[in-house]
């Protein structure tokens, strides 16, 4: 799916553009996700696990752009990638009422309102699609993410104890959240 470019103003007055990831930015997108993965333990992978080629990243961008079931939104600041998010609409007959969200913003750009701007677009896209339940997961201790998600009406529905095991042996639980776009079932 393609997201129509949208200019936003950040909390510090700078402007940014939300747009679909561009295939010519595949290398930038790969560098961005490696950097984001090095800046927090709250993402699924360590940076070295992103051992894919630029060509593979290009294929991922093309898949996102052409898929009828996935909307990717990248935040560009001065043509550099500051963050990215995705909503994946499930397509199975028994699950197509649900959609799953992922988001990561580079540390330099945390707390500037990018996550909130992205969530407004993701919720609108889910509403337009007729999605009933939006879902996401966050890891224990990710208070900024939890605050953002609760601000947009997501609520914790279950906990997966010890879902993450960090390099130093620390176990972290994962929380599953849902947001109902229809009257709660
Ligand atoms: C979590 C994340 C997506 C949030 O995006 P963001 O652009 O920083 O979010 P925003 O600036 O729109 O909003 C952040 C909110 O959290 C609040 N906040 C900041 N630090 C906080 C903390 N330690 N505890 C609680 N709330 C906090 C801010 O005050 C702001 O609240 P407000 O909108 O009510 O003023 C981003 O920080 C990120 O990508 N982090 C690293 C990767 C990650 O954790 N991804 C999510 C995996 S589930």
Q: Residue 25 maps to which CATH number?
A: 3.40.630.30
Contact residues of ligand 1, CB 6 A cut-off = 40, 42-43, 103-105, 110-116, 138, 142-145, 147-148, 151
Q: What is the CA radius of gyration of the chain?
A: 16
Domain presence at residue 96: yes
Give the span between the Cα atoms of 125 and 153, in whole angstroms.
15
Residue 97 in contact with residue 110, Cβ under 8 Å? no
Domain-located, residue 170: no
Each residue's pLDDT tens digit, 22-74: 999 999 999 999 999 999 999 999 999 999 999 999 999 999 999 999 999 99
With respect to residue 110, please indicate whether it lies within any of the assigned structural domains.
yes
Q: Is residue 56 part of a domain?
A: yes
The answer to pTM > 0.85 is yes
At residue 183 the predicted structure's pLDDT band, cuts being 50, 70 and 90, is: confident
Atom 9 in ligand 1: residue holding the nearest Cα: 115
Q: What phi, psi does 48 have (nearest 5°)?
A: -70, -10
Residues 137-150 have a mean pLDDT of: 98
Answer whether residue 79 is part of any domain.
Answer: yes
| Average pLDDT of the residues in 151-179 | 98
How many residues in the chain? 185
28 Cα to the center of ligand 1, angstroms? 23
10 within some domain: yes
Does residue 36 sit within a domain?
Answer: yes
Range of the domain at 93: 6-138
Judge whether 171 lies within some domain: no
The tally of domains found in the chain comes to 1
**Residue 39, pLDDT score:** 98
């Amino acid at each position: 799916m393609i997201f129509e470019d949208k200019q936003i103003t950040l909390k510090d007055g700078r402007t940014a553009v939300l747009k679909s990831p561009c295939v010519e930015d595949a290398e930038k997108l790969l560098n961005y996700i490696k950097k984001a993965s090095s800046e927090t333990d709250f993402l699924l992978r360590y940076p070295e696990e992103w051992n894919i080629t630029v060509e593979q990243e290009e294929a991922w961008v093309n898949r996102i752009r052409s898929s009828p079931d996935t909307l990717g939104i990248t935040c560009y600041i001065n043509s550099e990638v500051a963050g990215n998010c995705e909503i994946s609409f499930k397509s199975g007959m028994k699950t197509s009422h649900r959609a799953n969200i992922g988001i990561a913003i580079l540390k330099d750009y945390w707390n500037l309102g990018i996550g909130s701007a992205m969530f407004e677009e993701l919720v609108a896209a889910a509403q337009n699609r007729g999605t009933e339940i939006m879902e996401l997961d966050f890891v224990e201790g990710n208070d900024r993410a939890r605050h953002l998600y609760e601000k947009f009406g997501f609520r914790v529905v279950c906990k997966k104890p010890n879902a993450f095991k960090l390099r130093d042996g620390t176990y972290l639980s994962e929380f599953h959240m849902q947001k109902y776009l229809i009257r709660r079932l």
